[in-house]
Amino acid sequence: MPSIDVFIQGRGLGDILVATAEPHHAIREVIAVIDHPGVRGDDLLIFVEDMVAPIDIDAIVEEFLPVDIENATVVHPLRLHVSCCRHIEVVVRFNGEEAARRFSPGATIARAHHWAARRAFHMAPRDAAEHVLQLQGSSDRPDRDIHIGTLTSGDTCCVAFDLVPRKRVEG
């Protein structure tokens, strides 16, 4: 099996960090080659994107690779999240109401959006598609593949959003 691209996100990292690993490498080995202070520390937890629990740092890369079973090929790169938080409290406001739920730091904006729009505020699929998450107090609308753990600030393990209409072009 060829080398694997590993995309790493975490609070304070800024951009997504990219590493290369062999399938037999331990997660510890992948993290060790990243030259960034945001991926150092004994209290760091490692999450695979959208997985609820942190993984063992001595686990093998191959165990977490999304594969096409039929063709026995890797479909996507491995996406990891490094964090000191075990959970992120996500609060979403919409139409004067507020809903909250805990997510893994490696949960994506897409996952949080789906929960807020469809589950918390009971929007129809079409209505949900016309709304986006926007960080409260700003005009920042994070991309769907951003991990929510990257949006926390300081030592807090929470983030707040407004569910707002997507801009429409009429004409």
Q: What are the pLDDT digits (tens) for 82-105? A: 998 999 999 999 999 999 999 999
Of 26, 56, 83, the last residue of a domain is: 83
Q: Are residues 79 and 8 in the same domain?
A: yes
Q: Which of 91, 66, 92, 100 is nearest to 80 (CA)?
A: 66
Q: Give the CA distances from residue 125 to residues 113, 130, 131, 142, in Å, rounded to whole numbers and listed in that order.
A: 12, 9, 10, 20
Q: Look at the chain and report how many structural domains it folds into.
A: 2
Rounded to two decimals, the pTM is 0.86
Which structural domain range is residue 134 located in?
88-165
Q: Are residues 25 and 43 in the same domain?
A: yes
> Does the pLDDT value for residue 121 go beyond 90?
yes
> Does the pLDDT value for residue 72 go beyond 70?
no
